[in-house]
Structure 1
């Protein structure tokens, strides 16, 4: 699936000073930041849906809900796995009150993502997925949800950090997590985190209770990979090499010394035992710069490279260790 982008992002006018007698039109009082948020909400909110589910737990029937975002005009919807887990039926509603059913195409508990198909013949408004590797701390982040059917619940803030890890409900670590201070609530789960161009940079997934300003989203590159895998296979096939990874920025001097073009790489925080990385000789502190000849600039690159065809096949890994480049041969295993 190819990534979709707007032909050209909206151009925001420069903020202009106004006199106290400029009239009653509030648009003249908005600063550039406010106009940016308003423009994004106007563009993206039609693609945000309320996800309502009927669940069965312990023989008892209950209701659950969250948000989702339409990512294709034929009704593909991204949401959180925890929103739809254990459901018997799913329905979607838009901000204008229109309702329709949905069916589950596939889900990936390891990333807390799920893909739905809206059961409608209408072409739906949809949001575009951004390249999340391009986002940087300090950028504007806008979280849009449709909790409990309330249209376009919006919070705004900044990107606090990228390349975080977060433990999913099944105990797996989700890599390439975006941290933001844009406030989230349970009803915003599954809704989009959007940049100032109106592109989706993440799928809102979690908050840490009692920790002010710690909110998290699964990066859009991970979401796009999961979406593509589910459409192709019905589930996500993964090869794993047995490392705990984090994104690291490569200093210009290091990139020049080793002829590297990517701005970042993967820092090995830990090596699982037993596992392919341990068997090959990787250790904590290594910096993984390539797999099978492909540059590794972020955690999502590892997931993309270690696809189904590389499971149980020899893969060459290049790492930096102690100021030198080393090469190892790994045999990825299929992730259970």
Structure 2
């Protein structure tokens, strides 16, 4: 099956949907109860225990823009307080393109917030806001310790309903998916905890009340949850926090190819000299890959994988055996970085230097 990377192919009927921005609610918000210091929920009530401990760390984010008729609400999402200095983690797409950001706390207070930094490649943003008294700070957990089947709790403001709590499990880890913008996301946590529009940027907690993910998107044919949600791992957020706090506006690097993982079956089918790596199926015109001279395959017209393209087997000396590995390595770079690709062309190994670009405004 062709795995698309940095090309931007439209999804099928069942597709990935960003969880926000959710239109701002017209009615008064539901106010979350103030959490207590001790977990007093009934035995076995995991969601209740987590809510009591760190529920007030979860905030609703309301965004607006300035126009000729004044300030117009445009949507919002959720976020989580991760530092007593008022640092709030959320999803980058929640605050993208807006001019005003406000944070509504569990006690009903609403305060202006400032966007410190964004990372669109990982869909993360960091806000700063003055915290009211009594607001909890949620600790970041170790997402590398998350296992399939672990119980998780999501808290957020789906459809503007602040303080909504849902529970589920981790359905998969290290998931790779591609939303409608064509950019491939890797390393995601997948959960069946009900997540809906407005949950964007909200936390996914483990049973200890630690943030192990920031919700980012759902897989659904409808505007709602069908049990497949995705979250950016907390360790990714932890790694990016210093840059975001320093004001970085991070953009994902762009190579500009579509490709497929080479395995034994494909190697035999196409008579390839190797059975690992990434076969370049096509190259986007005028992309960094095109400018570096990477060669795509020829479409046979029968729906099979294009033949004759370059096979990428390493990047900067790091072995590449799958598309996921290539995507992950490219994601470590920024636009303008130069990488050295080791490729196999017509059975011979050679090196190609590519200067990575920025994603185009519209997915190619």
Q: Common fold, TM-score beyond 0.5? A: yes
Question: Which of 229, 232, 246 is matched with 1:215 structurally?
Answer: 229
What CA distance in whole angstroms lies between the structure 2 residues aligned with 1:334 and 1:26?
Answer: 51
| 1:95–1:141 Cα change, 3 Å | same
What CA distance in whole angstroms lies between the structure 1 residues aligned with 2:260 and 2:243?
Answer: 23
How do 1:72-83 and structure 2 match up within 5 A?
Answer: 72-83=83-94
Number of the residue aligned with 1:41: 51
SS of equivalent residue, structure 2 residue 99: strand
* Higher RCO (CA 8 Å, separation ≥ 6 residues): 2
| 1:73–1:295 Cα change, 3 Å | farther
Give deviations 1:73-130, integer Å, cap 9, x for gaps. Answer: 2112122233333433222122123332201223344444322111358796322333
Q: Contact between 2:212 and 2:233, CA under 8 Å: does it hold in 1? A: yes
SS of equivalent residue, structure 1 residue 230: helix
Number of the residue aligned with 2:60: 50
* 1:303 CA drift (Å): 5.5
Number of the residue aligned with 2:137: 126
| 1:44–1:236 Cα change, 3 Å | same
What CA distance in whole angstroms lies between the structure 1 residues aligned with 2:208 and 2:326?
Answer: 24
Number of the residue aligned with 1:93: 104
Number of the residue aligned with 1:15: none
Number of the residue aligned with 1:69: 80
How do 1:155-170 and structure 2 match up within 5 A?
Answer: 155-161=166-172, 162-167=174-179, 170=181
Number of the residue aligned with 1:117: 128
Give deviations 1:170-194, integer Å, cap 9, x for gaps. Answer: 4433333332111012222211112
Q: Contact between 2:283 and 2:294, CA under 8 Å: does it hold in 1? A: no
| 1:239–1:187 Cα change, 3 Å | closer
Number of the residue aligned with 2:193: 182
Give deviations 1:273-317, integer Å, cap 9, x for gaps. Answer: 466668568999999897546789968853563247xx4434466
- Relative to its length, the structure with more helix (as a share) is 1
What CA distance in whole angstroms lies between the structure 2 residues aligned with 1:180 and 1:146?
Answer: 17
| 1:134–1:104 Cα change, 3 Å | same
Aligned residues: 284
* 1:69 CA drift (Å): 0.9
Comparing 205-214 and 53-62, the one that deviates more:
53-62
Number of the residue aligned with 1:103: 114
SS of equivalent residue, structure 1 residue 331: strand
What CA distance in whole angstroms lies between the structure 1 residues aligned with 2:217 and 2:341?
Answer: 35
Give unpaired runs (5+ residues) of structure 1: 1-24, 248-265, 320-325
Q: Contact between 1:52 and 1:65, CA under 8 Å: does it hold in 2? A: yes
Number of the residue aligned with 1:229: 243
Question: Which of 328, 332, 338 is matched with 1:313 structurally?
Answer: 338
How do 1:181-200 and structure 2 match up within 5 A?
Answer: 181-200=192-211
* 1:198 CA drift (Å): 2.5
Comparing 124-133 and 39-48, the one that deviates more:
124-133
* 1:237 CA drift (Å): 4.8
Number of the residue aligned with 2:329: 302
Q: Contact between 1:75 and 1:123, CA under 8 Å: does it hold in 2? A: no
Number of the residue aligned with 2:17: none
